[in-house]
Structure 1
Amino acid sequence: MLQKGLLLRAVIMGCPGSGKGTISSRINKHFDILTLSSGDLLRFNAVQQTPIGLKATKYMEEGQLVPDDLITDLVLESIKTHGEGRHWLLDGFPRTRKQAETLNKASPINVAINLIVPHEVIISRIAGRWTHMPSGRIYNTEFNPPKIAGRDDITGEPLSQRVDDQPENIRRRLDIYLSTMQPVVDFYREAGVLREFKGKESNKIWPEVFRSMATFIEPKMPLP
């Protein structure tokens, strides 16, 4: 367990399709911990037209990446507003070593979770994903197939595959992720707070993550 009075400051990392979202939601369910997703924060601030949201929207409307400094300001402001006095977990941040260093100065991380899933498993998992574009409903030919192949269960309309979900593009996304995130992983390894979990399925990785988290913070419910 964490020392009395010491709050959990955690980040979770993992390639696209590694099950990071699934593991994050389970951490949130089983532990009394605030989960902050940089993507969700960005979308919320854009919709609410906050000062940071308006700046970010300007970049997105021009087809540009939102600058690192702006994302960092957004996350740090959210931590200050919502995370004071609470255990928290960041999902989707930091994305660069500079962001990691800035975060550590503001609020040192004491647990960095890194999910490692074989690339071929990730490619197979994502390549099987099909979407009903009008509604956003997502199916997967491996574990959540539509009742009729290629058709939405509710409307019967055709399903589509995003260009990013095609195998050749998945490989490119994985290569970009690894080249970008390796310095961040190295930063947390050097800091002595990195915990890596390897496996092919989220259901098999999760118990190890749960037990690891339980050494830092009391779970509010046991493993099923």
Structure 2
Amino acid sequence: MGVQGSGKGTQSKLLADDLDLTHINVGEIFRWHVKQHTKIGAQVRRIVAAGELVGDDLVEDVVRERLQQHDWNYGFVVDGFPRNRRQAEFFLESYDIDGVIHLDLPDEEVRRRVLARRLCSRCGMDYNLIAHRPETEDRCDVCGGELVAREDDTPEALARRLRDYHDKTDPVLELFRGKEYVTSVDARGDKATIQRTIRERLGLPSYQP
């Protein structure tokens, strides 16, 4: 768990790849639907263009459908869910949780990172002009496509999402803290340092990049 731009996707993928876990990225699932022009994708496009968060029912349906695939024999890491108390209660009722990793990042750093994000308009590869710049400015290293800002990465939309995050997700962290699931990690370091800290806190095998 963590605010937008805190590195949830990066850290989840590092954990999943190294420990043979399944990485379930809710945002990635929605982006796939948008790219494939599905009915869900059309809903999501309208919602994010307005700078809002996808509703609880749609998020729960997508997560439930993904987990029902049962391709996670050794466990899974969920990134981007739950975002509010209702989703957290659904998750607590349905699955066993080993731990909740909270990537703690101040709002001012979130703004700096998020507004520097870029996405390849052709293949969907993610970039960040601070941490992961392309070799050629505004061009994807993989396919040469044009790099663009995401529709929802505007200062106004980000301000709305931050307010929404703190209003809805801070109480979820308190719910999980009450059950002693939460490990908070400072998300301002480099990705290797953050991953090592996560492993140490959870008693997992050490990280070797």
TM range (shorter): 0.7 to 0.9
2:127 and 2:68 map into 1 onto residues whose CA distance is 37
Unaligned runs of 5+ in 2: 48-52
Describe the superposition over 1:85-125 as per-residue Cα deviations: whole angstroms up to 9, x where unpaired. 53222112112211111221122323111100122222222
Aligned length: 202
Choose the corresponding residue for 1:193, options 181, 198, 201. Answer: 181
Q: Does 1:28 align with 2:16?
A: yes
Structure 1, gaps ≥5 residues long: 1-12
2:139 to 149, 152, 158: 152
Aligned match of 1:223 = 208
Matches for 1:88-99 after TM superposition, within 5 Å: 88-99=76-87
Q: Which residue of 2 aligns with 1:180?
A: 168
Higher relative contact order (CA 8 A, sep 6+): 1
Quote how far apart the aligned CAs of 1:179 are.
1.5
Question: 1:210: which partner in 2?
Answer: 199
Distance 1:157 1:90 in 2: 29
Matches within 5 A, 1:9-158: 13-42=1-30, 56=40, 59-60=43-44, 63=46, 67-82=55-70, 85-136=73-124, 138-147=126-135, 149=137, 151-152=138-139
Q: What RMSD in Å do the two structures reach over aligned CA positions? A: 3.5
State the AA in 2 paired with 1:208: T
1:63-85 CA-to-partner distances (Å, cap 9, x unmatched) read 46764234324423433431565
- 1:35 and 1:88 in contact (8 A); partners too: yes
**CA distance in 2 between partners of 1:95 and 1:124 (Å):** 22
Equivalent position of 2:50 in the other structure? none
The secondary structure found in structure 1 opposite 2:20 is coil
Rate the CA distance shift 1:138–1:77 in 2: closer, same or farther, 3 A: closer
Provide the rounded CA distance (Å) in 2 between the counterparts of 1:173 and 1:42. 17
1:121 aligned partner, one-letter code = E
Among all aligned residue pairs of Structure 1 and Structure 2, give the percentage whose two residues are the same amino acid: 29
**3-state SS of paired residue (2:152):** helix
Larger CA Rg, structure 1 vs 2: 1
Given the two structures, how large is their TM-score scaled by the length of structure 1? 0.71
Aligned partner of 1:4 in structure 2 is: none
Amino acid in the other structure paired with 1:152? R
